[in-house]
Amino acid sequence: MKKMRWLAMLLALVMVAAACGSDGDSGDTADGGDTGSESTDSGDSGDSGDSGDSGDTEEVDVAQSGDLTFHMITHSEDGPFWSVVKRGMEAACSDLGVECVWMPGFNDANQMVQDIEGALAEGSSGIAASLPDPTALVPVLQGAVGQGVPVVTLNSGANDYQEIGALTHVGQTEFIAGQAAGERFNAAGATHVLCGQQEQNNVGLTERCAGLEDTFSGTVTTDFMDLDADTTAQQAAINAAMAADESIDGFLGVGPVITMSGVRAAGDLGRDVIVGGFDLTPELLGAIEGGDVLFTVDQQQYLQGYLPILQLFLFQTNSNTIGGGQPILTGPGFVTADNAASVLALSEAGTR
């Protein structure tokens, strides 16, 4: 298996090099090749991507789906979260036999707009996009719908997908997820929860803490606790915040890395703190199994990669829409000690 991956990587590299002047899209597609057989496919698409609009008709391997190419434009590819979304998308595309292009925007709305325009220019059969910045992205997506290209929003955008005219929205409402976490802390008997954030300007993370505050019966202190890139400083900040207030008996990390920092900080202080987290990593699941963490909110992001493609596919081939105009919620699901072991196996495989 490992040998195959190396081979695929090598092959993909050669393909990319061969397609001189290849743009980012073809490179990304080639990168998506997970198994040996697929890498050949993606290599072909790399070539066709270069030949522009007419290239789509030259696909050789698509049996059922004709010439569909879907574009997924997201605002990030870093972190344990988006790599799973990407896998979901890849799985959907290989299951359905369609071409998919993964375009991460690196938290840059301007680049996302350009990517969407680029996808339209290539004659995209459907666009799935996340909406971190609705003001910038809604007009260009409305334009896509106006051109007759179906749009699905994912991850963030629950409030704006209808305005765009998108088929549906696939994601989790952060506020509802936070509310669910608050109920869990109530049930566990916590009185004062520290809600630690790993980014300062992220609306989604703030919503999670706001949801917690909404349902939690005790006190909530919300604060920024340094970036994931510097876990040492992150742990030190949580440690200091906990030490400064003896009444803190709960910690909610709104990401997996900061949740683990919270576990270590509580351990250093020798305090018995109820820890809850967001999203999944193998370490976090291990900590849930070991009893250090009570639960983690799982928004099943695999679905956020898989379902938009499925919706676009069904719309294009059969004019179906799912959800009846309502957003499709992928979470909150919870992972606790009961199901951690089975999820852990899946997480290590990279699909949870």
Partner 1 sequence: MTDVSAVDANSATANDAGEADERLAYRSIFQRLFIRPEIGAIIGAIGVWTFFWAVSLNFGTTGGTQNWLDSASTLGIMAVAVSMLMIGGEFDLSSGANTGAMGILFILLIRETGELGGLGASIWIAVPLSFAFAMAVGFFNGWMVEKTALPSFIVTLATFFILKGAKLGLAKLIVGQISVTFTNDAHGYAFWQRIFAAEWERNSHVWNGRDLFYIGMFLVGTILITLSVCEMHFVRRSEPKPAGLGLFGLGMAGFVASIVLFHTTDGVGANFVAAAVLAVSVVVAMVGFGQWRYEPVAAAGGLRLNAGITNYLVAGLVSIGIAVACAFAIDSANSETLFFPFTVQGLRAVLIMVFVGVGFMLAMVAANRALSVNPITKGAVSTVIAAALAGFAFVVRASSEAAKFRTELFSVLLLCALALFAWAVLGTRFEERRRTDASADRLGTRGLLLGVALLVFAVIIRHLFVTDAELEAGVNPAKFSVRMLWFFGFTAVMVWILGNTRFGSWTFAVGGNKEASRQVGVPAARTKTQLFMIVSGAAWLVGMLLAFRLNSLQASAGDGEEFEFIIAAVVGGTLLTGGYGTALGGAIGAAIMAMSAVGIASARWNSDWRFVFLGVILLLAVISNRAIRDRADSARR
**Which of 142, 41, 128 shows the shortest CA–CA distance to 88?**
128
SS3 28: helix
19 touches partner 1 by CB under 8 A: no
243, 337, 341, 345: residue in contact with partner 1 (rule CB under 8 A): 243
239 touches partner 1 by CB under 8 A: yes
83, 147, 247, 342: residue in contact with partner 1 (rule CB under 8 A): 83
33 touches partner 1 by CB under 8 A: no
Q: Which of residues 273-302 bind partner 1 (CB under 8 A)?
A: 281-283
The answer to whether the beta carbons of residues 239 and 265 sit under 8 Å apart is yes
Q: How many CB atoms lie within 10 A of CB 308?
A: 33
For partner 1, the closer of residues 121 and 233 by Cβ is 233
> Terminus-to-terminus CA distance in the chain, angstroms?
21
What's the rounded Cα separation, in Å, for the pair 189 and 50? 59
**Identity at 160, one-letter amino acid code:** D
215, 268, 289, 317: residue in contact with partner 1 (rule CB under 8 A): 268
For partner 1, the closer of residues 130 and 234 by Cβ is 234
What's the rounded Cα separation, in Å, for the pair 327 and 154? 9
232 touches partner 1 by CB under 8 A: yes
- Residue 159 CB, shortest distance to partner 1, in Å, is 25
Interface stretch with partner 1, choices 88-96, 233-241, 293-301, 316-324 (CB under 8 A): 233-241
Edge-to-edge strand order for the sheet containing 219-224? 219-224, 192-197, 250-253, 274-278, 295-298, 333-336
For partner 1, the closer of residues 210 and 269 by Cβ is 269
For partner 1, the closer of residues 20 and 349 by Cβ is 349
Q: Tell me the chain's radius of gyration from C-alpha atoms.
A: 21
The answer to whether the beta carbons of residues 257 and 281 sit under 8 Å apart is yes
For partner 1, the closer of residues 9 and 322 by Cβ is 9
Interface stretch with partner 1, choices 22-30, 121-129, 171-179, 263-271 (CB under 8 A): 263-271
**Which of 145, 153, 204, 202 shows the shortest CA–CA distance to 178?**
204
Q: Which of residues 45-64 bind partner 1 (CB under 8 A)?
A: none
For partner 1, the closer of residues 7 and 18 by Cβ is 7
* C-alpha separations of 165 from 20, 157, 268, 332 in Å: 38, 12, 51, 25
257 touches partner 1 by CB under 8 A: yes
224, 314, 323, 346: residue in contact with partner 1 (rule CB under 8 A): 224
- Residue 278 CB, shortest distance to partner 1, in Å, is 15
Q: What element of type H or E holds 6?
A: helix 2-18
**Which of 260, 281, 259 shows the shortest CA–CA distance to 80?**
281
For partner 1, the closer of residues 9 and 314 by Cβ is 9
For partner 1, the closer of residues 148 and 270 by Cβ is 270
SS3 87: helix
For partner 1, the closer of residues 172 and 235 by Cβ is 235
Interface stretch with partner 1, choices 62-70, 127-135, 174-182, 262-270 (CB under 8 A): 262-270
The answer to whether the beta carbons of residues 332 and 176 sit under 8 Å apart is yes
154 touches partner 1 by CB under 8 A: no
The answer to whether the beta carbons of residues 98 and 65 sit under 8 Å apart is yes
- Residue 232 CB, shortest distance to partner 1, in Å, is 5
80 touches partner 1 by CB under 8 A: yes
Q: Given the rule CB under 8 A, which residues bind partner 1? A: 2, 5-6, 9, 78-80, 83, 200, 223-233, 235-241, 243-245, 257, 260, 268-270, 281-283, 348-350
